[in-house]
Structure 1
């Protein structure tokens, strides 16, 4: 799953089910009964290693800072790709609190909207309350998905929020995030405005490895996924 410079349409982004079936994602040795396999979920979640700004989805999520006026990493890449219209619109939003999210147009990006969310700085938040970083990180994903649904968007792609310079350990972040997304999708099954695809778009290999382990735990393969992959399900 290498990075690419060309645009990537939704059909080219592999779902969890497809990754299991092609053995690019391996199941955990045991299935946690608290998280039974779900074909709906495995068809609704994707993971890819790619440039977030190249994905042709309804909206992408920006790992922004509190000013919303651009920065380094994913934030800088999104602002550069979107063009000056994005920072102009962001300048009128009065910033954003950690764990919250705001939405803008996408300008020159191939998506329709950008959701801006501010992740926790891991060590700073940890000193205040050991559970605070996870609560804030989960809120970033939950509020971003809620915003997407409010705007009738069906497909959303996330970067690995806070796992770069903000210092959140990739394995801890991935566990919290995949669990939060599973809960969110489960709670909106059957709703007319439900999300149809949530994509984790990682740039670093460490995040890909962390998400692979978290997905194996919280989104285990269905018997159909294993059967197509050539596994014995009897």
Structure 2
């Protein structure tokens, strides 16, 4: 059984624990016909929330928040490194540049929910060519799984290990969020999405700063700043 630093009754409704290749994970399967996914970056004061705790504190009393998670890499000023779209408005453009670091490990990619309500995870190149009409989007990197194949630069179980989180798409109506409960390699985390969770395409959000909340409190992480946030709400 996966060991958790909180009471299991605090797990959000769409979430469960998964032991994969000997490592613990929390997996949240979100049916977009029952839940709404939104992005969060800035609070009412126009400044980045900076943490899941601040994000939760800034929610309206009537909000039906289910969970939140960090979702995208950020610059020192907390602004997104790559594409960020919130309710149809592009806050930051697609980044096709070259530089060191995980974000730029090609292929990197984009997670999005289109205006028709369906979701996707595609490479940055494919997103740029298709230019889908999206309601929300976030760019990150590297891709974990590309058309059923693990990212070609990953070792099977490399020595770089962190608590990691990411997103996959099982079908147009189902997204799968996952966060490891212990340090894991990128290779193992990618195989979780492909082999255990049935996602042909999946995107890495971040490592080390990874965090997850329910509607009331941070369950994992929370000690490091976060930039872009992904939140899941019950549909009205």
Greater Rg over alpha carbons, structure: 1
Shared fold, TM over 0.5: no
Instruction: Give the structure with the larger helix fraction.
Output: 1
Q: Calculate the TM-score normalised by the size of structure 2.
A: 0.29
Instruction: Give the structure with the larger strand fraction.
Output: 2
Q: Calculate the TM-score normalised by the size of structure 1.
A: 0.29
